[in-house]
Amino acid sequence: MAKKNTCLVRLQGMLDKSSIGFVEKDEIMNAIKIAQSELKLNSIDEINVDVVAKDVQSQIILQRKINKRNAIEDEIKGRELVDYVLREFPDNPQEGLTSILVGSNEQKAGARASVAVQQHASVNQAINGLMKQLADNNVETLFAKADEPMQLRIVRTMYELAQKPTKAEADTGIKPVITEKNAEIIKLATILHEYSEMMRIKLNDRGANIGKIWGYVVRQSHDPYSVRDAAKVLGDTTTEADPSIEGKWDKNYNRNFKAWKNFVMERLDQERTFAGVENIDEFMLFAYNSLIKNENLKSDGAEFTYNAKPTKNIAKSSQMKRVLHFKNADTWFEYNKNFGMGNLNESFFSGLTSVGRNLGIMDTLGTKPEVNFEKIRKAVATRITQSGQDSNKVDSKQFNKFLDVVTGRIYETGSFTGAKWGAITRAIASMAKLGGAVVSAAADLAQYGGEMRYQGRSFFGGMNEAMGSLAKIKNKKDRKNIAQMLGIMFDNSIYDVSGRFQVGDSMSKGWTNAQRTFFKYNLLSWWTNNLKESAMLGMANYFAKQKNIKFDDLNPGLKTLFKQYDINSTRWNIIRNIAMEKADDGTEFINIALLDKITDSEAKLISGLDNPSPRELRNIKDSFKSSVSGMLLDRSTFAVIEPDARVKATLTRSTIAGTWGGEAIRFVGQFKAFPASIIMKTLSREKSFFKAGNKVRGMTGIASIIAMSTLMGYVSMTAKDILKGREPRVPDDMETFKNIFYASFLQGGGLGIYGDVLFQETRSGGDIAASLLGPVPLSAFDYLQAIKYAVIDGEPSKAGKLAYRNTIANIPFLNVFYAKAAFDYLIGHQMMEFMSPGVLKRVEKRMEKDYNQGFIFTKPSQL
């Protein structure tokens, strides 16, 4: 006891002498407890208090310096962005502020250099950079396919590599003790450990203060589905609900929380985890709720990023993310196996995604993204008021939906149960309705051509490039490597092709894998990956061909494009001088990886700073590399239409899954992301020419896309007819021509996928209007209608036909185009005829009347 009092006296003496007024005694005590835990000491009396106190004081001083530096840098970023909005968007400051977050299609400097684009590039660069290192060291397969015992050995080695020797040990040349004997495992663990450290340093360079910690990237991997079903995951049938929180939530929730808490508490380094926590039970409950609601996915910037030595009582801040520190590699691995991503590579990808999103948002908005954006908005409002404009144009409510997407709040959930079953229901609908998506996707070729024309190339040249890429089922390894270094992420890592048609849901691993399998079997993954790779390589090759042309002499289309991504003469000179590389066939490309060779003097030119620090130089180089990759990635989503952050924000409207409003808007919006992207990206891009004073170019751009989309819609429609055993539709007279043109226009104009789902041939106008609610509400409406026919109207045959058709239309995988054709001829047609005699002949007559169309093989009515 006497020793402990002596410790406290010495601590208090240090505090009394300190010039730092905000230091609290409990902060020092927390640090001492952490030190005790790290050094594995049995008693706090064994701590060298003087050394720890000095270390804590230096940490506090360092944090103050970092906070001051961050405040200055955030202020500079904010002022630059205010000036940008007022300079480039004087008549439409709302669009200027929106462009900062999610981009704008207006032909203004920096209009597409948004937070969202930077995040996309940062995430892809982080993941692809790791994959390249693994491939270069021949451990890619080990990382991807290591079984559970092998993963544990890798994690243990990572832990051992991170154990820092004491100063005395380091002075004598002692290194961390590695018990693993397998050289390949050591090599892989070393790469993962060093890559994790690199990501931590990148965050610190942006203004965080994250202490060295083993496996930083993977340490906080959590699967909300597993956490919410903790008792089931653990096979725990004995744990009862926690009486201390009885009445707040249902018994099942309470039981799962208690099972999770009991499991975790045994494996936590409690001194470290609960340092400064006044109420541990409250801490754990908050952590549990945060995890099942996906709140840990939010990109907070640097303010609430994990600090190795906390300088505040985190129990007092509801915003501080709860960090769980495990005793060692084994206890973390046990947790991850049960409640994390399940395996090491998925955990690493998840961690890199979180780091990349934070890097992207901090590069643009600084260390306090939401606070800084609000300051920018208020400054713009003040300035436009002074100039006589209405400040309501930039009211904060207008930007919440965009902020929610870039911060990741949109991926949080309200009711876990509601979010879970809503996501599963929509996944089933996707796998039941999108079997023919690859056939409908022929319209992508017209979108591809339109985008290449926007960049200064030819429309038909772009289409030819796209069709050429689809003929290459197997691409050369060199092509794929270059594409990955440009930033493209293929479906074999974490890219989700289902996002083309809807705003993605957070789903369990099982349902996510089911969707991936589905899009593999219906060939949409092959189609999308090949077209995206072609777009990236085509653009990189096209840009490389301009390497001998000065910026001012570039063709107008390409120069406009570059300006939208803040690529000026200085930046173009750097790109064309150092980022060119030839593939194995002699074709030259821009290779983003080569931008790592930017010199300090070139970084100064990029930034315009006179004397940047080494940290600032690293940030400039890193951010510039991501911005060039971001341009290529962003334009690839115009060539192969995908919803961007702006489309997602517009469709979700700041609602979150698991709430009544959030689920309603997700069900109504299912499959509308594709047509919405056509309108908000393709047509908006062409409309930008009108605002830029080139109406002729705008009109011809829209006309060419509509014409080619309609033509490709006819191609798609014809392919579908052939798969159904029908003859191509032939426009023999004006009435047939109008019917075919209208159908082709809808098929190719962005409604192709949506039309497949909703506008079936047998529907009335009222049914079509109801179908706008989305496929799931429509299916529910059909079942209710079937019940009405059977119970109220007394028409069982009608009821049976409608119920059968609706059931068949909602069976996952049955609608895959080749399976559907076989099913219809073997079973489907006969079942429809059985339920409604004469229906097949009626369909055949309508086909002949409306489209002058018959069947290639035997008519269904004659089977």
pLDDT tens string 134-161: 999 999 999 989 999 999 999 999 999 9
How far apart are alpha carbons 195 and 217 in whole angstroms?
A: 9
Whole-number Cα distances in Å, 489 to 99, 124, 458, 482: 24, 6, 27, 11
- Work out whether strand 588-590 and strand 580-582 pair parallel, antiparallel, or are unpaired: antiparallel
Identify whether the C-beta of residue 627 lies closer than 8 Å to the C-beta of residue 383: no
Identify whether the C-beta of residue 160 lies closer than 8 Å to the C-beta of residue 176: yes
Q: What's residue 356's pLDDT?
A: 93
Identify whether the C-beta of residue 352 lies closer than 8 Å to the C-beta of residue 219: no
Q: What's residue 305's pLDDT?
A: 42
Identify whether the C-beta of residue 521 lies closer than 8 Å to the C-beta of residue 815: no
- CA-nearest of 529, 573, 533, 531 to 551 is 573
Exposed, middle or buried, 44 (CB in 10 Å: 0-12/13-18/19+)? Answer: middle
Identify whether the C-beta of residue 230 lies closer than 8 Å to the C-beta of residue 236: yes
- CA-nearest of 797, 803, 827 to 814 is 827
CA 612 to chain CA centroid, nearest Å: 32
Straight-line distance from the first to the last Cα atom of the chain, in angstroms, rounded to the nearest whole number: 95
Identify whether the C-beta of residue 645 lies closer than 8 Å to the C-beta of residue 678: no
Q: What's residue 807's pLDDT?
A: 87
Q: What's residue 499's pLDDT?
A: 56
Whole-number Cα distances in Å, 139 to 145, 349, 397: 10, 16, 49
Please list the residues that pair with 413 across neighbouring strands.
Answer: 657
Whole-number Cα distances in Å, 453 to 456, 556, 600, 844: 5, 11, 36, 42
Identify whether the C-beta of residue 230 lies closer than 8 Å to the C-beta of residue 252: no
List of residues 6+ apart from 30 with CB closer than 8 A: 275, 276, 310
Q: What's residue 42's pLDDT?
A: 61
DSSP state of 372: H
Taking 70 as the pLDDT cut, the residues of the chain under it are: 1-57, 164-174, 220, 242, 244-250, 303-322, 469-487, 489-505, 748-772, 856-858, 860-863
Residue tagged 């045994």 (tokens) = 266
Burial 344-383 (b: 16+ CB within 10 A, else e): bbbbbbbbbbbbbbbbbbbbbbbbbbbebbebbbebbbeb
Identify whether the C-beta of residue 575 lies closer than 8 Å to the C-beta of residue 595: yes
Q: CB atoms < 10 A from the CB of 206, how many?
A: 24
DSSP state of 214: T
Total count of residues recorded for the chain: 863
CA dihedral 65, 71, 76, 77 (to 10 degrees): 120
0.95 exceeded by pTM: no
Number of H helices, E strands in the chain: 42, 2
Exposed, middle or buried, 679 (CB in 10 Å: 0-12/13-18/19+)? Answer: middle
Q: CA geometry: angle at 203 spanning 199 and 207, to 5°?
A: 165
List alpha helices for 641-774, DSSP H: 645-652, 660-669, 673-677, 684-691, 695-723, 734-746, 752-758, 765-771
